[in-house]
Amino acid sequence: MIKIGMAYYPEHWDSSLWEEDAARMAKLGVHVVRLAEFAWSRMEPQEGRFDFGWLDDAIGVIARHGMRVILCTPTNSAPVWLYTQHPETVQWGRNGRPTDIGIRGHRCIQSPVFRRYAERITGEMAKRYAGRPEIYAWQLDNELESNHCTCPSCRAAFRRWLEEKYGTVEALNRAWGNEVWSGEFTDWEQIQPLLAPDCLPDWHNPAFMLDYERFGAWCTADFVRSQRAVIRSVDPDAVVTTNSCFCANLPDFHQEFAQLDVAAYDNYPPMDLPEDPETLYSNGFALDFIRGFKGKNFWILEQLGGAGGCWSPMGVTPEPGMIEGYALQAVAHGADLVSFFRWRSSCSGAEQLGHGVLDHDNRDNRRLKEIENFCRRLEKLPDLDKTDIHSDVAILYGADQEFALKNQRQSRNFAYWKQLKLFQDACMGLGVNVDVAAQDAPLEGYRVVVVPTHYVTDPDLTARLESFAAAGGTVVLTNRSGVKDEHNNCIFGEPLPTVFRKLCGCRVEEYDAVGEKRVHIARDNGDSFAVTGWCDVLEPEGAQVWARYTEKFYAGSAAVTRNPFGAGCAYYVGTVGERALYRALMGQILRERGVPLVDGLPAGVEVTTRTGEGGSYRFIFNNTLQEKSFVLEGETVLLRPMEMKIRTGEGEWV
């Protein structure tokens, strides 16, 4: 069955509470308890002196109550003695100076000295606990970001990485186009991975910035590789993962999780829902994105348990139904384990006001009751873990696109992520499963492949998309595709969308970075949509016009086209529209491809389906604070705010 988990910090509480806490968690329905992620100073209070007695006792208490443990390596928060004795382990900021220690995450994951100590504490834990029946899985570190440290170790590592990639400084200069602004290097030592605080990213050479981001992502994946190797050297069968999040310095998640057994995510959906109907707030996108890390079901290692209050002023209290509804939303999108954060709100430290399931008064509350309801509902679906998500639609994501576009902004109202979310939102609102997959993922088995803003081109993808369309598939490409080569330099001598021009059957005659201004496009059937951010003025070269601009100097020009290609076709969306545009466009595309839809879903109602050996289950989620009513297959469905209803393949409601 679907596993229920809970984050617990026994080192924060008197041991007299452990038995009571374990009993309450077991009664609730918890299967696994997540331990030790920040407890390095308790496990190694002095260099080389290890103390696992308290952890042995905590694991023993949990096991006696029939639960197992997800054991975390504590390397995110090194003990103070390590930083003071070995200051070279401290992370340096973008300003080229050591970070002040005092909160978590201030270690340099590329420091050879830090690596030695991190591998030692992980090895000691593995020798003591690996292979024991109480251990369900291992979590590495915590919410790893891409490495942007600028310490001497990282500077040297960056140069080594570049030298291995390019071979000579002259080859690097050619690839980066360093003749601009007299930026040519004559020695590897001249290369500094710095970003001065008074200099914006888009002032730097885009080719340099892309390689720096790639290097940072490689560092993170390399650290994961080293940690995993320590555990696997002791227990080859250990299940190993780490918990991802959307952070300031995103790593390449696909590279990071390629060497791990299961993808995992820390899931904190919004509690203060926006009033603007155009705002994309659903965490359904994030969940589909996480599933794409491994192309299979995933885990939630931190699930919303209460109001936030650590990194900003205290957030709003979760509305009734949110705790249960959001947990079920995760399951609906493929979570096979949902672990809530945290059992009890902390009484000390920076996260005192970051609420867990229980408040500081330690009493049962409404949030706990919702989790109990969640557990009881899943108990009625014991075979749900034998199902997964089967999708006819894939949205391709590329880390290079994220890296390049965040450092070279296209317009004031243009965002790579927004376009990904708009397509996913349209599919979810039509009751269609969608995968957010890596851009090198296999395309076989899909009917529709959407590639938003493929800015840094991958020649291999061009050929794969042409083959997919020729064989009968539908490809959807969007504005700012085909702009750059693999080094993040503009492609010369070919109209946009350059490498995709043949597939799309159109060229970009000119473009307008309209920013926050609103323009409109219209179809021949009278439908009109507001667009913003970017406008490609398209000249069809065999493609049919799906919609035209109605304003500005390019009124009457094509904005969206459809090009027959072999047995399939390719759409090109030259602008960024409101949500209704994507629902209309994807509705037509999905009907053309024979994908079953759920018509008439109200705004904010999401439908996903899990199928497999364990049966078929349709999840219908009202992700709004208003009551919703609609007709599904002849039956009226009424949903309270934040309510999830589950319908089995036999037509029963759970």
- Which of the residues are catalytic? 143, 302
Bridge-based pairing state of the strands 628-632 and 635-639:
antiparallel
CA angle at 80 for the pair 60 and 247, rounded to the nearest 5°:
80
Q: Give the separation between CA 642 and CA 624, rounded to whole angstroms.
A: 6
Per the CB < 8 A criterion, the answer to whether 551 and 579 are in contact is no
Q: Exposed, middle or buried, 394 (CB in 10 Å: 0-12/13-18/19+)?
A: buried
Which residues have a Cβ under 8 Å from the Cβ of 445 and sit 6 or more positions away?
none
Q: What is the DSSP letter of 499?
A: G
If we measure between CA atoms, which residue out of 539, 610, 523, 527 comes closest to residue 574? 539
Q: Exposed, middle or buried, 413 (CB in 10 Å: 0-12/13-18/19+)?
A: middle
β-bridge mates for residue 536, sequence order: 511
Per the CB < 8 A criterion, the answer to whether 282 and 273 are in contact is no
Query: Which residue type does 572 have?
Result: Y
Per the CB < 8 A criterion, the answer to whether 53 and 18 are in contact is no
Q: Give the separation between CA 596 and CA 589, rounded to whole angstroms.
A: 11
β-bridge mates for residue 7, sequence order: 34
Per the CB < 8 A criterion, the answer to whether 36 and 71 are in contact is yes
Dihedral angle of Cα 429, 434, 439, 443, to the nearest 10 degrees = -130
Q: What is the DSSP letter of 315?
A: P
Q: Give the separation between CA 29 and CA 296, rounded to whole angstroms.
A: 25
Q: Is the peptide bond before 497 cis (omega within 30 degrees of 0)?
A: yes
Q: Give the separation between CA 175 and CA 487, rounded to whole angstroms.
A: 6
| Ramachandran area for residue 367 (φ above 0: left; ψ -120 to 50: alpha; else beta) | alpha
Question: Strand (E) positions, 555-622?
Answer: 558-565, 568-573, 575-577, 605-612, 615-622
Q: What sections of 33-103 are H helices per DSSP? A: 40-43, 53-64, 80-85
What is the crossing angle of helices 206-234 and 112-129, to 10°?
A: 30
Question: Strand (E) positions, 452-604?
Answer: 474-478, 506-522, 528-540, 544-549, 558-565, 568-573, 575-577
Q: What is the DSSP letter of 412?
A: T
Count CB atoms within 10 A of the CB of residue 618.
Answer: 20
